[in-house]
Amino acid sequence: MNKHKVSLVSLGCPKNLVDAEVMLGHLPPERYEIVTDEAAADIIIVNTCSFIQDAQEESVDTILEVADYKKTGRCRLLVVTGCLPQRYRDELDKELPEVDLFLGTGDAARLVGLLDEKLGGGHVRQAVGQPDFLYDHTTPRVQSSPFYSTYIKIADGCANHCSYCIIPKLRGTLRSRAMDSVVAEAERMVGQGVVEINLIAQDITAYGADRDDGANLPELLRRLVKIEGLRWLRLLYAYPDGVSDELIELIASEEKICNYLDIPLQHIDDQLLGAMNRRVGEAQVRELIARLRARIPELTLRTSFIVGFPGETPEQFGKLLRFVEESHFDRLGVFRYSREEGTAAATLPEQLSERVKSERYKQLMKAQARLSFRKNRALVGRVEPVLVEGVSEETELLLRGRSVRQAPDVDGQVYITAGQADIGRIVSLRITDSSEYDLIGEIVED
């Protein structure tokens, strides 16, 4: 029996990537073969993102691009999954006749049954269910990230209800995994060669708040750091008011927990933060940063901000720009406000023009680029732990890797100009040069 060849394109955030890996894991290997070449695939799955307008446009463009393989390749079925059909199921049904099957964010476990039905001549096309799925350690999963690094989703959904954000409608409310389940998955991953685990959720500091078994982030971390063979444990997407003294102390004292924290702040002006339905204001943010820097001087702090939120005045943007220029952050992401139908902020007056949003975006990114260059220059001469990831894309003469200060996919790289090491190994590297976002260095003896 010939196997059906399946290719999957995953768009958006690491949380989406985990969903894609779970979908692939459900495909029985005796009947389905996973391939990376869409032209060779009988079934193409596009796992979409619709967080903001740019992500929606990328998703639609990708769907139309791979739909050509139904004419030029061997594709029999085009499947679109994830956030976009969860949000726009009826509209997509009409506007994308090229697509054979739509699934939502909670339908991974139904994939095989629906594919079998379609391949058998079934007519089901729209199969978007409730966003209530939560994988665990027993759920099959195919790791697509490098063998030495992985993401583990400790919760799904969100209960914060920020006024600009559509996530609760796409992913449902907060659903935390059992601690035993997370630890079991981590142990299995480390047993397979993983040395870096990146913990993700919409808000990792809310982990366990929906459970009645005592689960919480600090207790989970205490259990994870005991896993032999795990080297780096990285925390991504922490809501500021959930960063407790207990959590800060754990990051400072546990060697395996990276001195790295991603805390999306969104703005610094109290009036705008209130309109965003954020629970923290400027005073709390500044106090949190001071506590973090005092207890963890070597902390790499990443955040993200929104520019062009409805009603943002030049003075309020100027306040944000000055806050960034105060050099609080080592890494910074900036989003132009996207007016998303179904969110509270979409109904606010004083919506700003795309031109104003773009100008403010450029100003903030330019300011952070200067700061990033200065911070990277300050590392020259220091010895840093670096995870070797392979050969540089620019030249086979250089190895590349990531410092403990750099998260996968969102931060820069380290280019290794001297010394040899196996991929997946963490080495000591002396920083010899830097650019705005990347570092350059030489391996030194441990």
Query: Using one digit for the tens of pLDDT, what is the confidence trace for 405-422?
Result: 999 989 989 999 988 899
313 vs 437, residue with greater confidence: 313
| Distance between CA atoms of residues 273 and 281, nearest Å | 7
**CATH architecture for the domain at 4-119:** 3-Layer(aba) Sandwich (3.40)
Cβ–Cβ < 8 Å for 176, 211: yes
User: What Rg, from alpha-carbon coordinates, does the chain have?
Assistant: 22
Average pLDDT over the chain, rounded to an integer: 93
Domain ranges of the chain: 4-119, 149-377, 383-444
Instruction: Name residue 44's amino acid.
Output: I
Identify the residue whose tokens are 């594709």: 75
Instruction: Name residue 325's amino acid.
Output: E
Cβ–Cβ < 8 Å for 423, 390: yes
Query: Using one digit for the tens of pLDDT, what is the confidence trace for 219-244?
Result: 999 999 999 999 999 999 999 999 99
Instruction: Provide CB contacts within 8 A for 146, sequence distance 6+.
Output: 389, 390, 423, 424
- pLDDT value at residue 398: 84
Sign of CA dihedral 140, 141, 142, 147: negative
From the centroid of its chain, how far is CA 23? Answer: 17
Name the pLDDT band for 349 (thresholds 50, 70, 90).
very high
Cβ–Cβ < 8 Å for 177, 134: yes
Residues in the annotated binding site for [4Fe-4S] cluster: 13, 49, 83, 158, 162, 165
Region 262-274: what's the mean pLDDT? 97
Kindly state which CATH superfamily the domain 149-377 is placed in: tm_1862 like domain (3.80.30.20)
pTM for the model: 0.93
Instruction: Provide CB contacts within 8 A for 434, sequence distance 6+.
Output: 373, 376, 377, 379, 380, 440
292: alpha, beta or left? (left if phi > 0; alpha if psi -120 to 50): alpha
- Classified by CATH at the fold level, domain 383-444 comes out as OB fold (Dihydrolipoamide Acetyltransferase, E2P) (2.40.50)
Which structure tokens are listed for 137? 């350690």
Intrachain domains 4-119 and 149-377 with the same fold: no
| Distance between CA atoms of residues 337 and 348, nearest Å | 12
| Distance between CA atoms of residues 314 and 309, nearest Å | 11
Is 385 a residue whose pLDDT tops 80?
A: yes
Residue 381, CA distances (Å) to 13, 217, 260, 433, 434 in order: 34, 35, 21, 8, 11
Region 35-46: what's the mean pLDDT? 91
Is 351 a residue whose pLDDT tops 80?
A: yes
Residues in the annotated binding site: 13, 49, 83, 158, 162, 165
Region 199-224: what's the mean pLDDT? 96
Is 395 a residue whose pLDDT tops 80?
A: no
Helix (H) or strand (E) holding 334: strand 331-336
- pLDDT value at residue 446: 56
**How many CB atoms lie under 10 A from the CB of residue 28?**
10
Which structure tokens are listed for 43? 């079934």
Name the pLDDT band for 426 (thresholds 50, 70, 90).
very high
